Structure 1
Amino acid sequence: MVGKSTYFVLTKVFHRGGTSLPGTLAMKIDPNVLQTMANQYNVILVTGTNGKTLTTTLITRVLREKYTDVITNHSGSNMLQGITGTMLSAKVKDRTQKPLLVLEVDEANVEEVSRQLKPKAFVLTNIFRDQLDRYGEIYTTYEKILRGIRLVPEATLFVNADSPIFMRGDLPNPRVNFGFNHVPAKGDERAPHNTDGILSPTDNSILSYHFRTFANQGDYFSKTDDFKRPTLDYAVTKLNQLTPKFSNFDLDGETYQIEIGGMYNIYNALAAYTVGRTLGVSKTQIHHAFESNEQIFGRQEQIQVKDKAVTIVLIKNPVGANQVLEMMKTDPDPKSVMVLLNANYADGIDTSWIWDAEFEDLKDMNVQALATGGERYKDVYVRLKMSGFGDHPFYPSMKQVVGAIEKMPTKNVYVMATYTAMLQLREQLAQRGYLKNHQMGE
């Protein structure tokens, strides 16, 4: 097959990792190449606007505790060509049983991937307003996902039931619901006025909450009829300690820890726990999987730059940026912050979302120095200036950004970056020797 030959040439001859190019070539010759390979795998598809990469990684780690062959698109190449390349390059150890294929899938590709691969399960993380130029509003995004799910009504849905939008669609699929039950129900709370996705699927009335975790997520109910959050099959039952470097929490009454900060990342761990427990992975095995301290590419990745501990955090929409800011609040130490904004296709061309992110919160975080950069540095410079920081340094060139990081006055430096800005920064860090054995995403 031409795809396998291309993969061999890229990896063995030119010493480059490659999933997208072999996949692209294979799809040109056979547009249904995924369908041809589909019966070789049991496919679990992970999708949503935020958390796909970490959720996919954690699910893979958890399932590898029990199953010999668990394959994933670890490079984060989550569109058709990358998924095809992942399958072409897969190395199966045990030929007596079908390997599990855990795939992160871009929302707009769910329908075609589902048509060709017929997944056994879907994992739905969340849907927030994201890349309006590509997806449209949240209900449009969800409809793209629904079109894929409807093709496989027998597939199991692992659903973040704290997200009310996932209660829409009247799907016949078996469901496993996960969410947070970490505080007693408090009564009638409303989400902030600019929160998306707070309409009841039964009559489009505005939902109330017994409690919210963040954005539109929580224990919701309707005051106009009997609609409410469904019973949870698996739940976060306690938050013990949240720091920028780790999160300690209880799942169904037992304590777990992941080596990454932020409440939003606990949702990702909960999704992995839910899939693992449903597929027979023991709690002891899940503990072991979570204890791995391997960093996730571009997701709260910490890199030593001279005497600076630089934490790179991906941001791409208001909810995600706000949760990163909440994570940073758990660090009381002096810090410097660099905000990098690009507006390429993979970032989302529309940068207006930065005005809905609560950058004003940085004023209360012991920030000793702040700077902005990236291809759209002018946009983010104005946004940060309007949030109360006034005039501050800005760096159009990524080479300048690395130099500025080296000179920042604090040991802790946080870099909030959109996707392609993160890739460009990592490339510069690699060139200067700060990244070892570095792997660029596709």
Structure 2
Amino acid sequence: MSLKSSAAIIAGRTSYWFLHNFLHGGTSLPGKITLTIDPDVLQNLAKDYETVLITGTNGKTLTTALTVKVLNSKYSSVLTNPSGSNMKQGIVTAFLTSHKNKNGKKLAILETDEANVELVTRYVKPKVFVLTNIFRDQMDRYGEIYTTYAKILAGIRLEPTATIIANGDAPIFNSISLPNPTIYYGIDAVPDKEQLALPNTDGLLCPKCQHILHYKKISYANLGKYYCPNCDFKRPELDFYVSKISKQTPQSSEFIIGNTVFNLHIGGNYNIYNALAAYSIGRFFDVDDEQIAQTLNDKDEKVFGRQEVIKIDDKELTLILVKNPVGLDQVLEMIKTDTHPFSLAVLLNANYADGIDTSWIWDGRFENLPFSNIPVVLAGGERYRDIAFRLKVAGVTQEQFLERESLSDVLTSIKKIPTKKVYVLATYTAVLQLRKLLASQGYIKEGME
């Protein structure tokens, strides 16, 4: 290791120690400091690890957290970036925090921003790329879905021998031939039925002949058992799949993979996909089904901003990150199945990390919510006027509606809401701001880890 790399690592670890112990932070800045001294330091930090890069539009953070749990059941040295800081500086910080372990396999499970896959792969030699899905997201950063996939492919092409573990239900991941060995996972839990996806769904044209894709099963959006009626393009054979979804609530799912029953204590079809991705990675690293099932059946594990349940006096606040139309629709579909009374708050920011274009809120189907059964609907955040207007158009009446720009006022209003249960849907920086406020009032521990 060069003197420059050694100095960079010492500076980064020192800054992390100070920030972590005195300011309860340090997920990104130590990496920035380290990279300023040595832009190539990641190559040295990652050289002894078998690395898994997890990327895609939705599900990266939860898939990463579940994968780490699964692999920790067998391996003693699993490094990750648990805060969701998924750009290069955050990944450098993750390696800076690792502890030396000379015994056994060293694994790095890294959530990676789609636009950073190529940048990270220049320095890290991934053993596995995991592709969750690609949906329209942050148009100002990514553009359309094929532009996003091109960014990911630029990284994958640097490592043609790495294994790809991909969502086989997503047509885009079967649209371009690659030399990499590929493992596909998906959901095959209902009988075949001829159908089309909704007309405003992205990615419905066959990549071979541009005909509209048909489906025999649809999970949501463009995910399902697709085929082209005009040529031979179709969903690939699945290596791992959910054969039955036995039970679902907004807080849990029970499903079967192979001959094993899995219980996941977080709701939504989209989270079954996340668990299935983690399962597939576990199987790749020789963790058996029973171990994986036991690991995923953990009621105590909560992931920052992903259906995180927080007690606020006599209220039960469920905090859920939303950032694009498909993810928002899945959350709305999930919460509307709750049989208990609940209220709703939607917090909209439009900073760089959220995506500065807020037009996506008009593609989310708020109209599907049973507003007549929701006593209070609250609009908040820095762009509260935008989300307030959207909710009013969706059918929220003036009598049940609250508008609060300040998060302090949001929290005060939540404490007065008549229902015990409150769902709070928030964009990324709004989640950070709300959690910081809740930490300052002693409702949660400070920080994101």
Query: Which TM class, normalised by the smaller chain length?
Result: over 0.9
8 A contact 1:146–1:169 mirrored in 2: no
Q: CA–CA distance in 1 between the matches of 2:147 and 2:433?
A: 31
| Partner in structure 1 of residue 233 of structure 2 | 227
Q: SS where residue 53 of structure 1 aligns? A: helix
Deviations 1:53-84 (A, max 9, x none): 00000011001111111111011110110100
| Partner in structure 2 of residue 21 of structure 1 | 29
8 A contact 2:161–2:180 mirrored in 1: yes
| Partner in structure 2 of residue 299 of structure 1 | 306
Q: CA–CA distance in 2 between the matches of 1:16 and 1:340?
A: 24
1:42-191 alignment, distance < 5 Å: 42-93=50-101, 95-186=102-193, 188-191=194-197
Of 173, 176, 193, the match for 2:199: 193
| Partner in structure 2 of residue 6 of structure 1 | 15
The runs of at least 4 aligned residues of structure 1 exceeding 6 Å deviation read: none
Q: SS where residue 369 of structure 2 aligns? A: helix
8 A contact 1:92–1:99 mirrored in 2: no
1:291 to partner: Cα distance: 1.5
1:24-423 alignment, distance < 5 Å: 24-93=32-101, 95-186=102-193, 188-293=194-299, 294-363=301-370, 366-391=373-398, 392-423=401-432
Q: CA–CA distance in 1 between the matches of 2:132 and 2:373?
A: 32
Q: CA–CA distance in 2 between the matches of 1:373 and 1:363?
A: 20
Give me the identity figure in percent. Answer: 53
Q: SS where residue 184 of structure 2 aligns? A: strand
8 A contact 2:51–2:126 mirrored in 1: yes
8 A contact 1:237–1:253 mirrored in 2: no
Q: CA–CA distance in 2 between the matches of 1:201 and 1:182?
A: 26
Match for 2:161: what amino acid? E
8 A contact 1:332–1:366 mirrored in 2: no
| Partner in structure 2 of residue 434 of structure 1 | 443
Give the unaligned 5+ runs of structure 2. Answer: 1-9
Match for 1:25: what amino acid? I
Q: SS where residue 161 of structure 2 aligns? A: coil
What is the total number of aligned residue pairs between the two structures? 437
Q: SS where residue 376 of structure 2 aligns? A: strand
Superposition RMSD in Å: 1.3
8 A contact 1:302–1:311 mirrored in 2: yes
Q: Which moved more, 1:51-60 or 1:330-339?
A: 330-339
Match for 2:336: what amino acid? K
1:5 to partner: Cα distance: 2.4
Match for 1:3: what amino acid? G
8 A contact 2:315–2:421 mirrored in 1: yes
Deviations 1:217-262 (A, max 9, x none): 0000001111110000000100111111111111123210111011
1:354 to partner: Cα distance: 0.3
Deviations 1:182-205 (A, max 9, x none): 01211x211101000112121222
Q: CA–CA distance in 1 between the matches of 2:264 and 2:397?
A: 37
8 A contact 1:209–1:218 mirrored in 2: yes
Match for 2:442: what amino acid? G
Q: CA–CA distance in 2 between the matches of 1:67 and 1:300?
A: 27
Q: CA–CA distance in 1 between the matches of 2:371 and 2:385?
A: 24
Deviations 1:276-303 (A, max 9, x none): 1121101121122101221111100011
Match for 2:11: what amino acid? V
Match for 1:420: what amino acid? T
8 A contact 2:28–2:90 mirrored in 1: yes
Q: CA–CA distance in 2 between the matches of 1:417 and 1:232?
A: 34
1:98 to partner: Cα distance: 4.2
1:390 to partner: Cα distance: 3.3
1:263 to partner: Cα distance: 0.7
1:370 to partner: Cα distance: 0.7
TM-score by structure 1 length? Answer: 0.97
Q: CA–CA distance in 2 between the matches of 1:237 and 1:74?
A: 30
Q: CA–CA distance in 2 between the matches of 1:9 and 1:329?
A: 44
Q: CA–CA distance in 2 between the matches of 1:214 and 1:366?
A: 25
Give the unaligned 5+ runs of structure 1. Answer: none
8 A contact 2:436–2:447 mirrored in 1: no
1:92 to partner: Cα distance: 3.3
Q: CA–CA distance in 2 between the matches of 1:127 and 1:399?
A: 35
